[in-house]
Amino acid sequence: MAPVDPHSFTESTQPATTDIALTLYFDFPSSTIHASALFTLQTPHSGPFFLDTRSLTIHSALHADEAIPFSLSTTSDPIKGTLLTLTLSNHSSFILTFSTSPSSSALQWLLPPQTCNKTHPYVYTQCQAIHARSIFPSHDTPARRIRYSAILNIPSELSAVMAANHVTRRPPRDDDAASLASLNLNWCSQDRVVEEFVMEQPVPPYLFAFAVGQLGNREVGPRTRVYAEEGSAVLDSAAKEFEGTEEMIREGEKLFGEYDWERFDLLVLPPSFPYGGMENPKMVFLTPTVIKGDGSGAQVVAHELAHSWTGNLITNKTNEHFWLNEGFTTYAERRIVEAVQGEKRATLNVGIGWRGLNEEIERFKDNLEFTKLKNNQQGIDPDDVYSQVPYEKGFQFLFRIERQVGRSAFDEFLKKYIAKFKFQSIDTDTFLDFLKENIPGIEKQIDLVLWTEGTGIPSDAYEPELIVYKTIVSLANEAATGRMPGEDEVADWQGQEWELYLDNLPKSIEASQIVALDSRHKLSESKDYEVKVSFLQRAISCGCKEYYGEVEKTLKAVGRMKYLRPLYTALVKGSEEDKVFAKRVFSEARECYHPIAQSVVVSIFSKHM
């Protein structure tokens, strides 16, 4: 017996699940889902059969009304969760009934006051990296792919979306819920409705996704609708921000080949959503902070779109090869941005990434393993080592290959790579073998082992050379001598230029300069959270107490980890007073964060306090 993934109990000797048919009853007052799942296995199996679970209560395991013995392990692994073992006797299918817990790590249940409209409750998922197991028992590893269908029973004033095809919305029927009969649910009550979905393409479980709330939508393209809370201002501004989506899909197709998922819809979530975006197939999830009014939010959409090929079609086998998802996607994102918004925007994007990569290498200086593209995550929680390394070092590696072989040869290679491995989960060695086979001699031109297994940043990585980038970086460096940019120099700056400037300010900058910069350019009040947070992070490091009110407001307004991480980290690295402040704000804001974000903040605290 051998586990296929350090983050899962899945055994290589046991058959894969090919299909799961889910029936889900949403009980908002108790923040619980009562559910059943019909599993279909690839081959019949006898003996122990392992599934991943976390904080689930298992009520029964059945095959044609006959009970199947099962047990949950008495101790839980802090990372993998609780092992569910079924004892099968030549079974190729079975039905489990179970309930989630209010503390399910994938789910955030929002009370009406925590939503934009403040009138209806809301629940949404975030399953990456290893949280699908807190919604349903599964082989929760990207090494295994499943098809699924789902029947969602929800309050009739709400609607549901999924990263799947919508089949119908209809009144509930008794026969929907035969497998849930023992739970005595109000399945067919007047105030309930059923929404049905089906996902016909096999996907890794981390791409399982739904949201239930008072949702509305706007059509923005032939295969794209934008969803957000009905009647909220977000819906209109999102429709405007993302009106260029179809053009990006066509660019993606030029680069990678046909778009295989039919729909590319976008769901803008409440501000507590922990990521910038999540590439859930057919229905990308987005934070409202990407709506900036200047079209730059489209870059996050370009990233999630690129995942339709790299990540969703070709998937990393385990999180130890996460760069195969994120490095390729970051590379593709920048190619799409370059085609749609021009070289300048793409270069600024590379420059911000370059700075971010250097900071991450610094962050991991005592744990260099996580500066490697291919790394060892035995006993490691993937959420704890989430960083820009797989994104930016992965991008650098692929861009290094592009520079070596030329763009058209690399484009041809990319198309071949997608066609060869689509709907498969692969590891770094599989990619390298394919690379060497298709670009003979590449290993003599680029040190592939150093790039994939070495720590830090190889010396043949690329810092942008474009003049727009260099001008901003040298302006930032001049702050060491006290010089601040003049009005004329920043007149046409957008968020990215400011972000790049702030990220490159020297560490030695003084509090008085920070204050002067803000009184001239109002960065602490920027509506662009990238700029605002980058500024506030600097303000905290310089001990500018006058901005702590704004820091608190920000930490309470959004739950995106990209902002929580730097702000809380800057605070806990500061004075005793800063630490007390951080703890108080977290205790007051905590409920507004998704469980994944909550545990990331807890882990920042435990590392530094």
Residues designated as active site: 304, 391
Answer yes or no: is 190 a known binding residue. Answer: no
Q: Is 326 annotated as a binding residue?
A: yes
CB of 564 to Zn ion, least distance (A): 18
Comparing CB distances to Zn ion, the nearer of 159 and 316 is 316
Q: Is the dihedral of CA 9, 13, 16, 22 positive or negative?
A: negative
The alpha-helical segments, DSSP class H, found in 262-380 are 298-306, 323-341, 343-363
Helix (H) or strand (E) holding 25, with range, is: strand 17-27
Residue 242 near residue 298 (C-beta atoms within 8 A): yes
Q: How far is the CB of 123 from Zn ion (least distance, A)?
A: 23
> Residue 330 Cβ, how far from Zn ion at the closest point, in Å?
7
The residues in 304-333 that bind Zn ion, with binding defined as CB under 5 A, are 326, 329
Instruction: Tell me how far apart the alpha carbons of residues 158 and 120 are, in angstroms, rounded to a whole number.
Output: 8
Binding residue per annotation — 277? yes
Under 8 Å between Cβ of 54 and 383: no
CB closer to Zn ion, 130 vs 536: 130
Burial of 266 (0-12, 13-18, 19+ CB in 10 A): buried
Q: How many Å apart are CA 494 and CA 500, to the nearest integer?
A: 10
Q: Tell me whether residue 172 is annotated as binding.
A: no
Query: Distance between terminal CA atoms of the chain?
Result: 41
Residue 317, CB half-sphere, CA atoms under 13 Å: how many?
Answer: 14
Q: To the nearest whole angstrom, how small is the minimum distance from the Cβ of residue 311 to Zn ion?
A: 6
Q: For residues 515 and 547, what is the distance between their CA atoms, to the nearest angstrom?
A: 9
Spatial distance between the Cα atoms of 214 and 361, rounded to a whole number of angstroms: 42
Q: In whole angstroms, how close is the CB of 554 to Zn ion at the nearest point?
A: 24
Annotated binding residue 609: no
**Residue 115 or residue 308: which is nearer to Zn ion going by CB?**
308
How many residues of this chain bind Zn ion (CB under 5 A)?
2
Q: Is 543 annotated as a binding residue?
A: no
DSSP 313-333: TEEESSGGGTHHHHHHHHHHH
CA 594 to CA 272: how far, in whole Å?
6
DSSP letters of 55-122? S-EEEEEEETTEE--EEE-SS-BTTTBEEEEEEEEEEEEEEEEEE--TT-TTEEEE-GGGSSSSSS-E
CB of 45 to Zn ion, least distance (A): 35
303 marked as part of a ligand binding site: yes
Nearer to Zn ion, 7 or 521 (CB): 7
Residue 100 or 308 with smaller CB distance to Zn ion? 308
In angstroms, the CA 254 to CA 16 distance is 34
HSE value, Cβ hemisphere, 13 Å, CA-based, for 555:
28
394 is in an annotated binding site: no
- Residue number with CB closer to Zn ion (388 or 541): 388
| Peptide linkage before 67 cis (omega within 30 of 0) | no
d(CA 479, CA 581): 29
Residue placing its CB nearer to Zn ion in the complex, 316 or 329: 329
Cβ atoms of 464 and 353 within 8 Å: the answer is no
CB nearer Zn ion, residue 329 or residue 396:
329
Could you tell me the smallest distance in angstroms from the CB atom of residue 193 to Zn ion? 33
Report whether 25 belongs to an annotated binding site. no
Q: How far is the CB of 139 from Zn ion (least distance, A)?
A: 22
The answer to whether the annotation marks 127 as part of a ligand binding site is yes
Give binding residues for Zn(2+) as ranges: 303, 307, 326
Positions at the binding site for a peptide: 126-128, 274-279, 560-562
Task: Point out which residues bind Zn ion (CB under 5 A).
Answer: 326, 329
Pick out the residues of the known binding site.
126-128, 274-279, 303, 307, 326, 560-562
